[in-house]
A and B are shown apart, each in its own frame.
Chain A
Amino acid sequence: MGSLIKSGGVSGAILSRIATNDQHGENSEYFDGWKAYDKDPFHLSRNPHGIIQMGLAENQLCLDLIKDWIKENPKASVCTPEGVYQFSDIANFQDYHGLKEFRQAIANFMGKARGGRVTFDPERIVMSGGATGANETIMFCLADPGDVFLVPSPYYAAFDRDLRWRTGVEIVPVHCSSSNNFKLTVEAVEWAYKKAVQSNKNVKGLLFTNPSNPLGTILDKDTLKNLVRFVTRNNIHLVVDEIYAATVFAGENFASVAEVVKDLDSSEVNVDLIHIVYSLSKDMGLPGFRVGIVYSYNDSVVSCARKMSSFGLVSSQTQFMLASMLSDDSFVDNFLMESSKRLGIRHGVFTLGLKKADINCLISTAGLFVWMDLRHLLRVRNSFESEIELWHIIIDKVKLNVSPGSSFQCTEPGWFRVCFANMDDDTLHVALRRIQDFVSKNSNKTAEKASDNDQLIQNNNAKKQKWKQSNLRLSFRRLYEDGLSSPGIMSPHSPLLRT
Chain B
Amino acid sequence: MKQLSTKVTSNAHGQDSSYFLGWEEYEKNPYDEIKNPNGIIQMGLAENQLCFDLIETWLAKNPDAAGLKKDGQSIFKELALFQDYHGLPEFKKALAEFMEEIRGNRVTFDPRKIVLAAGSTSANETLMFCLAEPGDAFLLPTPYYPGFDRDLKWRTGAEIVPIHCSSSNGFQITESALQQAYQQAQKLDLNVKGILVTNPSNPLGTMLTRRELNLLVDFITSKNIHLISDEIYSGTVFGFEQFVSVMDVLKDKKLEDSEVSKRVHVVYSLSKDLGLPGFRVGAIYSNDEMVVSAATKMSSFGLVSSQTQYLLSALLSDKKFTGTYLNENKKRLKIRQRQLVSGLEAAGVTCLKSNAGLFCWVDMRHLLDTNTFEAELELWKKIVYEVKLNISPGSSCHCTEPGWFRVCFANMSEETLDLAMKRLKEYVESTDSNRLISKSSHERIKSLRKRTVSNWVFRVSWTDRVPDER
**Minimum distance in angstroms from A245 CB to a CB of chain B:** 19
Name A315's contact: one of B74, B77, B278 (CB within 8 Å): B278
Assess whether A95 is in contact with B464, with CB atoms less than 8 Å apart.
no
**Minimum distance in angstroms from A456 CB to a CB of chain B:** 53
Question: Which residues from B are CB-within-8-Å of A26?
Answer: 297
Known: A88-B49, A96-B467. A13 touches B129 (CB 8 A): no
Known: A66-B80, A289-B305, A290-B305. A84 touches B8 (CB 8 A): no
CA distance A81 to B192 in the complex (A): 52
Assess whether B294 is in contact with A15, with CB atoms less than 8 Å apart.
yes
CA distance A316 to B279 in the complex (A): 5
A286 contacts partner chain B, Cβ-Cβ < 8 Å: yes
A483 contacts partner chain B, Cβ-Cβ < 8 Å: no
The residue of chain B having its C-beta at the shortest distance from the C-beta of A286 within the complex is B80
Assess whether B5 is in contact with A84, with CB atoms less than 8 Å apart.
no
Assess whether A304 is in contact with B3, with CB atoms less than 8 Å apart.
no
B349 contacts partner chain A, Cβ-Cβ < 8 Å: no
A338 contacts partner chain B, Cβ-Cβ < 8 Å: no
Assess whether A317 is in contact with B307, with CB atoms less than 8 Å apart.
yes
Assess whether B131 is in contact with A58, with CB atoms less than 8 Å apart.
no
The residue of chain A having its C-beta at the shortest distance from the C-beta of B295 within the complex is A19
Assess whether B191 is in contact with A6, with CB atoms less than 8 Å apart.
yes
Assess whether B308 is in contact with A315, with CB atoms less than 8 Å apart.
yes
Known: A132-B301, A494-B300. A19 touches B5 (CB 8 A): no
Convert B248-286 into 0s and 1s, putting 1 for each residue whose CB lies closer than 8 angstroms to a CB of A: 000000000000000100000001000111111000000
CA distance A141 to B469 in the complex (A): 23
Question: Which residues from A are CB-within-8-Å of B224?
Answer: 8-10, 12-13
CA distance A316 to B297 in the complex (A): 24
The residue of chain A having its C-beta at the shortest distance from the C-beta of B466 within the complex is A95
Number of B interface residues in the complex (CB < 8 A): 89
B125 contacts partner chain A, Cβ-Cβ < 8 Å: yes
The residue of chain B having its C-beta at the shortest distance from the C-beta of A139 within the complex is B5
CA distance A74 to B59 in the complex (A): 13
Assess whether A288 is in contact with B60, with CB atoms less than 8 Å apart.
no
From residue 457 to 499 of chain A, which have CB atoms closer than 8 A to chain B?
492-494, 496-498
Assess whether B59 is in contact with A87, with CB atoms less than 8 Å apart.
yes
Assess whether B60 is in contact with A84, with CB atoms less than 8 Å apart.
yes
Question: Which residues from A are CB-within-8-Å of B83?
Answer: 130, 281, 287-288, 290, 497-498
Assess whether B5 is in contact with A141, with CB atoms less than 8 Å apart.
yes
Assess whether B311 is in contact with A316, with CB atoms less than 8 Å apart.
no
The residue of chain A having its C-beta at the shortest distance from the C-beta of B132 within the complex is A16
Question: Which residues from B are CB-within-8-Å of A363?
Answer: none
CA distance A224 to B378 in the complex (A): 56
Looking at A15, A235, A304, A314, the one whose CB has the most chain B CB atoms below 10 A away is A15
Question: Which residues from A are CB-within-8-Å of B89?
Answer: none
Convert B311-322 into 0s and 1s, putting 1 for each residue whose CB lies closer than 8 angstroms to a CB of A: 100000000000
A311 contacts partner chain B, Cβ-Cβ < 8 Å: yes
CA distance A15 to B298 in the complex (A): 14
Known: A143-B5, A307-B13. A312 touches B77 (CB 8 A): no
Question: Which residues from B are CB-within-8-Å of A273?
Answer: 3
**Minimum distance in angstroms from A79 CB to a CB of chain B:** 3
Looking at A13, A93, A281, A321, the one whose CB has the most chain B CB atoms below 10 A away is A13
Assess whether B15 is in contact with A307, with CB atoms less than 8 Å apart.
yes
Convert B46-65 into 0s and 1s, putting 1 for each residue whose CB lies closer than 8 angstroms to a CB of A: 01010010011001100101
The residue of chain A having its C-beta at the shortest distance from the C-beta of B278 within the complex is A316
B353 contacts partner chain A, Cβ-Cβ < 8 Å: no
Question: Which residues from B are CB-within-8-Å of A221?
Answer: none
Known: A12-B192, A87-B59, A94-B271. A310 touches B67 (CB 8 A): no
Assess whether B121 is in contact with A310, with CB atoms less than 8 Å apart.
yes
Assess whether A311 is in contact with B59, with CB atoms less than 8 Å apart.
no
Name B81's contact: one of A5, A84, A142, A287 (CB within 8 Å): A287
From residue 187 to 220 of chain B, which have CB atoms closer than 8 A to chain A?
189, 191-194
B422 contacts partner chain A, Cβ-Cβ < 8 Å: no
B423 contacts partner chain A, Cβ-Cβ < 8 Å: no
CA distance A194 to B407 in the complex (A): 58
CA distance A402 to B352 in the complex (A): 62
B122 contacts partner chain A, Cβ-Cβ < 8 Å: yes
Assess whether A15 is in contact with B464, with CB atoms less than 8 Å apart.
no
Convert A172-215 into 0s and 1s, putting 1 for each residue whose CB lies closer than 8 angstroms to a CB of B: 00000000000000000000000000000010000000000000
A160 contacts partner chain B, Cβ-Cβ < 8 Å: no
Name A318's contact: one of B15, B193, B305 (CB within 8 Å): B305
B225 contacts partner chain A, Cβ-Cβ < 8 Å: yes
Question: Which residues from A are CB-within-8-Å of B467?
Answer: 93-96
Looking at A67, A161, A311, the one whose CB has the most chain B CB atoms below 10 A away is A311
Assess whether A92 is in contact with B49, with CB atoms less than 8 Å apart.
yes
Question: Which residues from A are CB-within-8-Å of B74?
Answer: 67, 71
A232 contacts partner chain B, Cβ-Cβ < 8 Å: no
Question: Which residues from A are CB-within-8-Å of B290?
Answer: 15, 19-20
Assess whether A310 is in contact with B60, with CB atoms less than 8 Å apart.
no
Name A80's contact: one of B66, B271, B469 (CB within 8 Å): B66
**Minimum distance in angstroms from B156 CB to a CB of chain A:** 8
The residue of chain A having its C-beta at the shortest distance from the C-beta of B67 within the complex is A80
Name A60's contact: one of B3, B65, B77 (CB within 8 Å): B77
Assess whether B223 is in contact with A8, with CB atoms less than 8 Å apart.
yes
B37 contacts partner chain A, Cβ-Cβ < 8 Å: no
Assess whether B279 is in contact with A315, with CB atoms less than 8 Å apart.
yes
From residue 137 to 155 of chain A, which have CB atoms closer than 8 A to chain B?
140-144, 147
A357 contacts partner chain B, Cβ-Cβ < 8 Å: no
B130 contacts partner chain A, Cβ-Cβ < 8 Å: yes
Question: Which residues from A are CB-within-8-Å of B13?
Answer: 304, 307
**Minimum distance in angstroms from A100 CB to a CB of chain B:** 12
B406 contacts partner chain A, Cβ-Cβ < 8 Å: no
Name B130's contact: one of A19, A77, A132, A162 (CB within 8 Å): A19
Question: Which residues from B are CB-within-8-Å of A70?
Answer: 68, 76
Convert A405-436 into 0s and 1s, putting 1 for each residue whose CB lies closer than 8 angstroms to a CB of B: 00000000000000000000000000000000
Assess whether B280 is in contact with A315, with CB atoms less than 8 Å apart.
yes
Assess whether A81 is in contact with B60, with CB atoms less than 8 Å apart.
yes
Assess whether A129 is in contact with B5, with CB atoms less than 8 Å apart.
no
Convert B165-184 into 0s and 1s, putting 1 for each residue whose CB lies closer than 8 angstroms to a CB of A: 00000000000000000000
**Minimum distance in angstroms from A19 CB to a CB of chain B:** 4
A110 contacts partner chain B, Cβ-Cβ < 8 Å: no
Assess whether A202 is in contact with B5, with CB atoms less than 8 Å apart.
no
CA distance A288 to B306 in the complex (A): 5
The residue of chain B having its C-beta at the shortest distance from the C-beta of A97 within the complex is B465
B133 contacts partner chain A, Cβ-Cβ < 8 Å: yes
B34 contacts partner chain A, Cβ-Cβ < 8 Å: no
Known: A60-B77, A67-B74, A289-B80. A144 touches B278 (CB 8 A): no
Other 15 A-B pairs with CB < 8 A, given A304-B13, A315-B305, A498-B83: A1-B135, A8-B223, A74-B67, A84-B66, A92-B275, A94-B271, A286-B80, A307-B15, A311-B121, A312-B122, A313-B280, A314-B305, A317-B279, A317-B307, A492-B86
Q: List 30 A-B contacts (CB under 8 A).
A: A6-B191, A9-B224, A12-B225, A15-B291, A16-B130, A16-B133, A19-B291, A20-B290, A67-B77, A71-B74, A79-B67, A84-B59, A93-B277, A94-B119, A94-B278, A94-B469, A97-B465, A129-B122, A141-B7, A237-B3, A281-B83, A287-B80, A288-B81, A290-B118, A300-B9, A310-B151, A311-B122, A311-B302, A312-B118, A318-B305
10 cross-chain pairs, A with B, having the tightest CB-CB distances, nearest first:
A316-B278, A288-B306, A79-B66, A315-B305, A312-B302, A19-B294, A88-B52, A129-B302, A94-B277, A19-B130
Q: Which residues of B contact A (CB under 8 A)?
A: 1, 3-9, 13, 15, 47, 49, 52, 55-56, 59-60, 63, 65-68, 74, 76-77, 79-86, 118-119, 121-122, 125, 129-133, 135-136, 150-151, 155, 186, 189, 191-194, 223-226, 263, 271, 275-280, 288, 290-291, 294-295, 297-298, 300-308, 311, 464-469
Q: Which residues of A contact B (CB under 8 A)?
A: 1, 5-6, 8-10, 12-13, 15-20, 24, 26, 58, 60, 63, 66-67, 70-71, 74, 77, 79-81, 84, 87-88, 90-97, 129-130, 132-133, 136, 140-144, 147, 161-162, 166, 202, 235, 237, 272-273, 281, 285-290, 298, 300-301, 303-304, 306-308, 310-318, 321, 492-494, 496-498
